[in-house]
Structure 1
Amino acid sequence: MKRLRLSLLILAAFCGLASAQTLRWSSQGDLQTLDPHSQNELLTNSINGQVYDTLVMRDKKLGIIPALATEWKQVSPTVWRMKLRQNVKFHDGAPFTADDVIFSIARGAHQASPFRAYAVALGTPVKISDFEVEFQLKEFNPIFLQHASLIYIMNKAWTEKNNAAAPLDFKNKEDKYTNLNTNGTGPYILVSRQPDTKTVYKRNPSYWGKIEGNVQEVVYSPIKNDATRTAALISGEIDFVLDPAPQDIARLKSTQGVKVIDGLENRIIFIGMDQARDELLYSNVKGKNPFKDLRVRQALYHAIDVETLKRTVMRGQALPTGATTPSPLGTYNDPALEARMPYDLNKAKQLLAAAGYGSGFEVQLDCPNNRYINDQSICEALSAMWAKIGIKVNVLAQPRATYFPKAEKLDVSLYMLGWGGAITDAETVLTPVLHSRAEQGVGYYNWGNYKNAKLDQLIEASSKEADAKKREQLIKEALKLVKDEVLTLPLHRQVIPWAARSNVEAVHRADNWLEWQWVKVGPAAK
């Protein structure tokens, strides 16, 4: 009888462990594509990052650690050498070599890739041997290793075999084999993909690294509606929610069997304006562009009641700022750069009148509705605020899969964008977002398409300055210019609480990245 009881206990423990090895999680939107060089968007990157490895990766505190590269050395200011990890296999069994690195950097630098600026910043990779690569840069790159953490490594032979040597052109609705199929070296392998419904992964039994967690299977199911997503977590239908609605946080904290994991994200949310066209695409103003006038941009800024936005829309889950860097470390914690222009409706009206728009005007604000925390609600709140100074703002909120291709074509007049990730250095926003649009991916996310020669000079100088003090001065001068010219309308840095069942352990990183190999799912509470 004792042996039978012992056997039953062991069997029960085993069944509990087995059932705990599936992680079922959700957020409000789906990843956009499985092609790792096609869309530079956080959820897409973070899920593809479980399948594809980079040369170096981030630890739990966002430090740079070895991945497919085991060692690196800066031979000179413009030359880096990396030794590659040996005995690594892609999911189809093919060996990983330097050829895959060279191919992937070139693919990431393709004109169709939003990662182009990062890949180009790595210079020209040259094969020294099958397991050593030299990167020859045109100029000094102060964040070379951080750029190396952003380009996923693909299998050259597999990609070429499937006619996907160039990345999928997402904004023009191109379709390729890599849109629904994968072949990486990462800790998880794709099992099935049903866009906007469910994507399933299994653990890679041949992964080169040590997996700390116990998750054998991952099921990702996007749930657009906030209430439905919360209900699914509370009922136990899912185990983890990446983006619980701010209005649900208090309830979740008091719900038995559920916990909230708080954390600040390195991400700035801001509004951009078309400052290039002579006439806006979506406005009743004809023959001229009001956003070219500094006074109009200042008026929009002064009419934003950011504290009310924080209190009523974000339920306190936001840190207002006047800066355009994802992290205050990007401004070197400079109070002058972090300070906001004051909320002042009278001044806003005076500025509009001085600019010739005393009666206001009408314009469309394009917004995602499933990308950032309360993104559509923020846009609707801004519309109400700007109505107080006579500007009628029509909000067009769309799913991320529709919104981003539209914005990337510059098919916007007024738009929302969030920018951030693991890099806290200002370079992460200066070159891809604040510089004017140029070749090799520079300014790709400058959807307002403004051009400022002085700003470009400062950004270019800071991106190759080796002296830390001189570089700090250049960065601060560039950010001050962005601030003085009101080239963007900064709102806040997101605070990202995660919500999970009480038996789930996850590491909350400041880049809002859920690393599956660190997750532990214990037996469900009875």
Structure 2
Amino acid sequence: MRIKSVLAVGLLCAALGVQAQAVRIANQGDALSMDPHSLNESLQLDVLGNIYDALVLRDKDLSLMPGLATAWKQTSPTVWRFDLRKNVQFHDGTPFTADDVLFSMARTQADGSDMKSYTNDFKAVRKVDSHTVEIETNKPFPILPDMMSRVMIMSKKWCEDNQATRPVDRRKGIENAASFRANGTGPYRLRERQPGVRTTFVRNGNYWGKVEGNVQEVVFTPIGNDATRVAALLSGEIDVMEPVPLQDVDRVNASPNARALTGPELRTIFLGMDQKRDELLYSNIKGKNPFKDKRVRQAFYQAIDIEGIRKTVMRGASSPTGEMVGNGINGFQPDLNKRLPYDPEGAKKLLTEAGYPNGFEVTMNCPNDRYVNDSRICQAVAANLSRIGVKINLAAETKGTYFPKILRRDTSFYLLGWTPSTVDAHDPLNAIMSCVDDKGAGQFNLGAYCNPKVDELARKVQAETDKTKRNAMIHEAFKIHQDDIGHIPLHQQALAWGVSKRVELVQRPDNNISFKWIKVKSGA
């Protein structure tokens, strides 16, 4: 039914004579909400980035560029001033002003927000005048403009009129008007939203910025089945798809109608473990938590045959890693990018030393429609761990139920991927590796790993402007986390987009598809 509906849209466009200005995009999953503050997940934020703008945007090479702010500067070590763009309107015609910025920044800290880690160090956000705001932080924050590139601005009036002043809470299944409707300042408007079926966008004729592409309409369709998604691309029923199954890259490139765009991605895939509870939620071990013992965490790490996963599961399209960021991220430490050796026998000895000579049983949570071959990676990890006596009960599910579950920390062992949206090591230090607090630090540290020394270094990294000193601090923090086996990094996956030969677009290493850069060739 999905493919038929996509095809119907294409036929309609042809009938109207605007087929060359319509693009049909398919993904293995869907954006779970139209609320830009409800889920800090790349696909959702990338889709919504076509509707909403941030104060600061990223260009084709990931460099910062003006968005709703035309300029920004530090007026003191802890204060940044942003000059806002004038004569900008939201899609409903409401003028954009400083009040919308203050409202949006406060909304990111409200209950239900998944964006707290971007603004958790804000002390105050002040309105200087109708088009000037100041952000004061608790400590010097030289990379604050980078943080702002992911915080999208909503209309204060629209949210108040539509009872959407607080974000949609995906953990509790709570919805509001912002779940299904949208009112941004971006280059595309939301025309129709059918969750899990189809989302349609149309060009915003009043957009304040430059649109290099010629696309008037975008139809976004989730197609979870790999074979169906590839067939739709090769038949011309869709124009862009992501991801191309690794086994189908050559087939797509051999097609007369499409090609596979591949490249490195900044996302790191890793495993997390509950290190806080005194008793694991989903295990046959009662009265204690094996993951509190570093020897157990290390045993899991060294039982994983990462080269086997790279060769058989990822078909060579991954880069095994020993740290939580990859090459291309500011602060990447080449000398730390070495994994502990694959050593099943050594892993068994560690488990025996920790008091689990026969292993134990634990549930592993995994998405099956979010990352490249995610459920297959989890199956491979489960098979590896079985060799040291650990029985994994694999719970693989669609991200629509997976994310709410793990974000409630209703998990003992899980797989997650992370792309630092700031392109900086401070991002995972703050969001994944810091001790969990109620303001946003450690918001995605779902296993509650905690080392106060890492927290101290994260705060220093945030404030340090000297690159050499800053890198030394990042190195020290990453080394502590690595020695603690705070998480188990696996690899950086590669990008693989399927693109019709009638379409030109920009592939960024953060896996963002920006509609305003898509061009449909004339005569196609």
Q: Same fold (TM over 0.5)?
A: yes
Do 2:420 and 2:428's aligned partners in 1 also have CA atoms closer than 8 Å?
no
Distance 1:307 1:24, change over 3 A: same
Q: In the alignment, which residue of structure 1 is the partner of 2:4?
A: none
Secondary structure of 2:125's counterpart equals strand
Mapped to 2, the partners of 1:401 and 1:42 lie a distance apart of 14
**In the TM superposition, what is the alpha-carbon distance from 1:152 to its structure 2 partner?**
0.5
Do 2:333 and 2:475's aligned partners in 1 also have CA atoms closer than 8 Å?
no
Q: In the alignment, which residue of structure 2 is the partner of 1:4?
A: none
Q: In the alignment, which residue of structure 1 is the partner of 2:24?
A: 24
Deviations along 1:224-273, one digit per CA (max 9) or x if unpaired, are 01111111101111000021111111111111111111121111000000
**In the TM superposition, what is the alpha-carbon distance from 1:468 to its structure 2 partner?**
2.6
Q: In the alignment, which residue of structure 2 is the partner of 1:297?
A: 297
Secondary structure of 1:220's counterpart equals strand
Secondary structure of 2:445's counterpart equals coil
Q: In the alignment, which residue of structure 2 is the partner of 1:279?
A: 279
Q: 1:114-125 maps to which residues of 2 (within 5 A)?
A: 114-125=114-125
Query: Structure 1 stretch 510-519 or stretch 132-141: which is displaced more?
Result: 132-141
Letter of the aligned partner of 1:382 in structure 2?
A: V
Do 2:266 and 2:329's aligned partners in 1 also have CA atoms closer than 8 Å?
no
Do 1:436 and 1:446's aligned partners in 2 also have CA atoms closer than 8 Å?
yes
Q: In the alignment, which residue of structure 1 is the partner of 2:189?
A: 189
Mapped to 1, the partners of 2:86 and 2:302 lie a distance apart of 57
Q: 1:251-330 maps to which residues of 2 (within 5 A)?
A: 251-327=251-327, 329-330=329-330
Letter of the aligned partner of 2:81 in structure 1?
A: R
When Rg is computed on C-alpha atoms for both structures, the one with the higher figure is: 1
Task: Please state if 1:387 is matched with 2:386.
Answer: yes
TM-score (norm 2): 0.95
Task: Please state if 1:442 is matched with 2:418.
Answer: no
Deviations along 1:460-498, one digit per CA (max 9) or x if unpaired, are 222222333222221111100111010111100111111
Mapped to 2, the partners of 1:356 and 1:243 lie a distance apart of 42
Mapped to 2, the partners of 1:111 and 1:469 lie a distance apart of 38
Q: In the alignment, which residue of structure 2 is the partner of 1:60?
A: 60
Secondary structure of 1:319's counterpart equals strand
Secondary structure of 2:489's counterpart equals strand
Deviations along 1:419-471, one digit per CA (max 9) or x if unpaired, are 00442211110011111110211111111112222222222222222333222
Mapped to 1, the partners of 2:41 and 2:156 lie a distance apart of 23
Distance 1:357 1:515, change over 3 A: same
Q: 1:85-484 maps to which residues of 2 (within 5 A)?
A: 85-327=85-327, 329-335=329-335, 337-484=336-483
**In the TM superposition, what is the alpha-carbon distance from 1:123 to its structure 2 partner?**
4.4
Distance 1:511 1:447, change over 3 A: same
Query: Structure 1 stretch 216-225 or stretch 415-424: which is displaced more?
Result: 415-424
Query: Structure 1 stretch 123-132 or stretch 384-393: which is displaced more?
Result: 123-132
Distance 1:369 1:162, change over 3 A: same
Mapped to 1, the partners of 2:396 and 2:31 lie a distance apart of 18
Secondary structure of 2:309's counterpart equals helix
Do 2:120 and 2:441's aligned partners in 1 also have CA atoms closer than 8 Å?
no
Do 1:117 and 1:441's aligned partners in 2 also have CA atoms closer than 8 Å?
yes
Mapped to 2, the partners of 1:329 and 1:40 lie a distance apart of 19
Secondary structure of 2:384's counterpart equals helix
Secondary structure of 1:171's counterpart equals coil
Letter of the aligned partner of 2:491 in structure 1?
A: H
Secondary structure of 2:485's counterpart equals coil
Do 1:422 and 1:510's aligned partners in 2 also have CA atoms closer than 8 Å?
no
Do 2:186 and 2:207's aligned partners in 1 also have CA atoms closer than 8 Å?
yes
Deviations along 1:37-66, one digit per CA (max 9) or x if unpaired, are 111111110111100000010000000000
**In the TM superposition, what is the alpha-carbon distance from 1:20 to its structure 2 partner?**
1.1
Distance 1:206 1:120, change over 3 A: same
Mapped to 2, the partners of 1:121 and 1:207 lie a distance apart of 32
Distance 1:232 1:172, change over 3 A: same
Mapped to 2, the partners of 1:96 and 1:424 lie a distance apart of 28
Do 1:190 and 1:202's aligned partners in 2 also have CA atoms closer than 8 Å?
yes
**In the TM superposition, what is the alpha-carbon distance from 1:522 to its structure 2 partner?**
2.0
Do 1:326 and 1:419's aligned partners in 2 also have CA atoms closer than 8 Å?
no
**In the TM superposition, what is the alpha-carbon distance from 1:139 to its structure 2 partner?**
1.1
**In the TM superposition, what is the alpha-carbon distance from 1:17 to its structure 2 partner?**
7.2
**In the TM superposition, what is the alpha-carbon distance from 1:15 to its structure 2 partner?**
8.3
Mapped to 2, the partners of 1:215 and 1:53 lie a distance apart of 18
Do 2:159 and 2:165's aligned partners in 1 also have CA atoms closer than 8 Å?
yes
Mapped to 1, the partners of 2:120 and 2:275 lie a distance apart of 27
Mapped to 1, the partners of 2:196 and 2:40 lie a distance apart of 18
Do 1:121 and 1:144's aligned partners in 2 also have CA atoms closer than 8 Å?
no
Secondary structure of 1:128's counterpart equals strand
Mapped to 2, the partners of 1:221 and 1:105 lie a distance apart of 31
Distance 1:299 1:81, change over 3 A: same
Mapped to 2, the partners of 1:245 and 1:203 lie a distance apart of 30
Task: Please state if 1:45 is matched with 2:45.
Answer: yes
**In the TM superposition, what is the alpha-carbon distance from 1:29 to its structure 2 partner?**
0.5
Mapped to 2, the partners of 1:421 and 1:22 lie a distance apart of 31
Letter of the aligned partner of 2:239 in structure 1?
A: D
Mapped to 2, the partners of 1:275 and 1:333 lie a distance apart of 25
Letter of the aligned partner of 1:280 in structure 2?
A: L
Do 1:323 and 1:331's aligned partners in 2 also have CA atoms closer than 8 Å?
no
Q: In the alignment, which residue of structure 2 is the partner of 1:6?
A: none
Query: Structure 1 stretch 470-479 or stretch 119-128: which is displaced more?
Result: 119-128
RMSD: 1.5
Letter of the aligned partner of 2:71 in structure 1?
A: E
Do 2:53 and 2:67's aligned partners in 1 also have CA atoms closer than 8 Å?
yes
**In the TM superposition, what is the alpha-carbon distance from 1:284 to its structure 2 partner?**
0.8
**In the TM superposition, what is the alpha-carbon distance from 1:369 to its structure 2 partner?**
0.7
Mapped to 1, the partners of 2:465 and 2:517 lie a distance apart of 36
Mapped to 2, the partners of 1:303 and 1:191 lie a distance apart of 49
Deviations along 1:348-398, one digit per CA (max 9) or x if unpaired, are 111111111111111110001111111000000100011111111111001
**In the TM superposition, what is the alpha-carbon distance from 1:33 to its structure 2 partner?**
0.3
Secondary structure of 2:126's counterpart equals strand
Secondary structure of 1:174's counterpart equals coil
Do 2:150 and 2:421's aligned partners in 1 also have CA atoms closer than 8 Å?
no
**In the TM superposition, what is the alpha-carbon distance from 1:200 to its structure 2 partner?**
0.5
Mapped to 2, the partners of 1:423 and 1:87 lie a distance apart of 28
**In the TM superposition, what is the alpha-carbon distance from 1:416 to its structure 2 partner?**
0.5
Secondary structure of 1:263's counterpart equals strand
